[in-house]
Amino acid sequence: MSSLSGKTGLVVGVANKRSIAWAVAQAASAAGARLALTYQGERLEENVRELSAGLTDPLVLPLDVTDDAQIARVFEELDRSFGGLDFLVHGAAYAPREELSNPFVQTTREGFRMALDVSAYSLIALSRAALPLMEKRGGGSILTFSYLGSDRVFPNYNVMGVAKAALESTVRYLAADLGPKNVRVNAISAGPIKTLAAAGIGGFSTILQVYRDRAPLRRTVDTSEVADAAMFLLTDAGRAVTAEVLMVDGGYHATGM
């Protein structure tokens, strides 16, 4: 029996085939899960529909994580179609482009608000909506994605670093809150990968080169490697792990210089 057979999951954050969330969706589907995928706005609908055509009986739904009414609709549909939920993959993050190139001291109030709303608060909103469906299954696993910029300064990561610090703290508070209901909450802190979101960060290719030069494994990571780690956290293999930020970065986080 596959590790996620008979399980259902919601995957938020697929933009295209390079998305980390798409690699996780593929791995979860291969492990036997039935999935719902969401897309943010009509611009991305075609991409997500085309990708999910290869999955078994997927649900494809619109979701902007800043819109509480859309969140409610997604979970109503999940309840109707799946009758419960075993896991949630949260791969949404955003900061206005200028916040990722201007000096950090120029961070605007609105840019800060948007980055924290989309990239951190949304995990709370989605977890709250997922909870009753996970309780129907006797528990669940929630997973989000962070970056070392939460803790260390990387050029141009700026307000996204602040949002990731809030996200990692949110993981711990949610884990404490939902643990008694057997719902686990974890993050993977991935090494840098060329995705749509990464393209917005000025000088991103320099960051990639620094990892190739200095990470213990002397290379960057790819989305399939993040997905393999995600399978550990989403399946029973990780049943005793919660409130964790798992580094999947070739060991870069351990380097001093």
Ligand X SMILES: NC(=O)c1ccc[n+]([C@@H]2O[C@H](COP(=O)([O-])OP(=O)(O)OC[C@H]3O[C@@H](n4cnc5c(N)ncnc54)[C@H](O)[C@@H]3O)[C@@H](O)[C@H]2O)c1
Nearest to 87 by CA among 139, 164, 159: 139
Using the minimum distance from each CB to ligand X, give the nearer residue, 40 or 170: 40
Nearer to ligand X (CB atom), residue 123 or residue 137? 123
222 contact partners, CB below 8 Å, separation of at least 6: 193
Q: Is 75 in the site for ligand X (CB under 6 A)?
A: no
Do 183 and 140 form a contact (C-beta atoms < 8 A)?
yes
Number of H helices, E strands in the chain: 9, 7
Q: How far is the CB of 14 from ligand X (least distance, A)?
A: 6
Q: Which of residues 14-33 bind ligand X (CB under 6 A)?
A: 14-15, 18-21
Active-site residue, selected from the candidate residues 94, 147, 211, 252: 147
The residue to which tokens 């009758």 are assigned: 83
Q: Pick the stretch among 2-10, 86-94, 126-134, 174-182 that binds ligand X (CB under 6 A).
A: 86-94
What is the size of the binding site for ligand X (CB under 6 A)?
28
How many Cα atoms within 13 Å fall on the side-chain side of residue 118? 19
Outline where 83-222 has alpha helix (H).
109-116, 122-135, 158-178, 196-199, 204-214
With CB under 6 A as the contact rule, the residue among 28, 65, 162, 185 that binds ligand X is 65
Query: Which residue stretch of 59-67, 75-83, 97-105, 128-136 sits at the interface with ligand X (rule: CB under 6 A)?
Result: 59-67
Site for ligand X in 194-223 (CB under 6 A): 195-198
Q: Which of 39, 94, 157, 211 is catalytic?
A: 157
> Quick one: tokens of 55?
């999955």
Task: Return the range that interacts with ligand X (CB under 6 A); candidates 78-86, 129-137, 177-185, 192-200.
Answer: 192-200
Whole-angstrom Cα distance, residue 16 to residue 3?
25
User: 99: closest CA among 142, 158, 51?
Assistant: 158
* Cα gap 74→202, rounded to integer Å: 34
Q: Is 157 a catalytic residue?
A: yes
Question: Does residue 87 belong to the site contacting ligand X (CB under 6 A)?
Answer: no
145 binds ligand X (CB under 6 A): yes
Binder among 190, 215, 245, 246 for ligand X (CB under 6 A) = 190
Residues carrying an active site annotation: 147, 157
Binding site for ligand X (CB under 6 A): 13-15, 18-21, 40, 44, 63-66, 91-94, 118, 145-147, 190, 192-193, 195-198
